Amino acid sequence: MDLILFGPPGAGKGTQAKVLQDERGLIQLSTGDMLRAAVAQGTELGKKSKAIMDRGDLVPDDLVIGIIAERLDKPDTARGVIFDGFPRTVAQAKALDTMLAGRGRKIDAVIELKVDDEAMVGRMESRVRENPGSVRADDNPETLRKRLGVYRQNTAPLLDFYRGQGKLVTVDGMAPIAEVSAAIKRIIGGLGKAS
C-alpha cells in the first residue's frame, strides 16, 4: 500500500507517518528529513539545498524526484510507503505516478490533514518554545509564513489533481493526535472495499 500524507507545514504529517510506520510496517519517506540529512552530511545535494530550505523555498523538482527514485529502488520500500512532504508540485506528482507505475504500483490514497493556517503558526511557536535546543533553521515565524505561502501557491493545487484521480480523502487535522490517527486507520481499513 502506498499513501500520501498531505497538508501544510506543521499539520502533523510526520507525526501520523510515524504512527503508520510503527503500526503497519510501511516506510515513511520524508523528503524534508532526507534533505536535512543531506545538508548535515554535506553532500552535493545538501550543498545545493541548504540555502533554499533555510529561506522556505522549494528545492528543484529534479533533485527531490531523484532522491525518491533512488529510495524506491531499495528493497525495504517494496511493502509500501507513506510519502510525507512529497509530492509538493504537480510535476512531482506526475513523476511519482510514473515511478510507481514502472514498479507495478500506484498511490492508493491521499490523506489530507485539514488544518487552520493561523493555528499552524501558533503550533510551531509552541514547538520552538518547548524544544529550544532542536529548532530547525526554517522554524521561525517569518519562514513559516513563507512556507505556508509556497504551500498555497505550489502545493495546494495538488488537491485538485488527486481529487480528479478519486484518491483524495480529508481528515480534521485540528483534532487531537490520537483522533487523527483513528480517522486515518478507518480510511485505510476501508481502502479497496468500495468501488
Query: Which residues are part of the catalytic machinery?
Result: 13, 88, 127, 136, 147
Q: What is the 3-state secondary structure (H, E, C) of 108-149?
A: CEEEEEECCHHHHHHHHHHHHHHCHHHCCCCCCHHHHHHHHH
- Our finding on whether 120 is near ligand ADP (CB under 6 A) is no
CA–centroid distance for 6 within its chain: 6
Give residue 175's identity as a one-letter amino acid code: A
Q: Out of 28, 32, 67, 96, which residue is the one contacting ligand ADP (CB under 6 A)?
A: 32
* Residue 152: its H or E element: none
Residue with cell 509530492: 87
Q: Out of 17, 19, 45, 53, which residue is the one contacting ligand ADP (CB under 6 A)?
A: 53
| In contact, 28 and 17? CB cutoff 8 Å | yes
Q: Which residue is nearest to ligand ADP (CB)?
A: 32
What x/- string results for residues 129 through 168 when contact with ligand ADP is judged by CB under 6 A?
A: ---------x--------x---------------------
| In contact, 190 and 28? CB cutoff 8 Å | no
Give residue 98's identity as a one-letter amino acid code: T
Q: How far apart are CA 120 and CA 46, in angstroms?
A: 27
Q: How far apart are CA 166 and CA 22, in angstroms?
A: 27
- Our finding on whether 12 is near ligand ADP (CB under 6 A) is no
Q: Out of 27, 39, 56, 115, which residue is the one contacting ligand ADP (CB under 6 A)?
A: 56
Candidates 57-65, 105-113, 127-135, 158-166; binding stretch for ligand ADP (CB under 6 A):
57-65
Q: How far apart are CA 100 and CA 105, in angstroms?
A: 5
- Our finding on whether 58 is near ligand ADP (CB under 6 A) is yes
Q: Out of 4, 38, 59, 168, which residue is the one contacting ligand ADP (CB under 6 A)?
A: 59
Please report, as residue ranges, which positions from 62 to 101 form the binding site for ligand ADP (by CB under 6 A). 64, 85-86, 88, 92
Residues that bind ligand ADP (CB under 6 A): 9-10, 31-32, 35, 52-53, 56-59, 64, 85-86, 88, 92, 138, 147
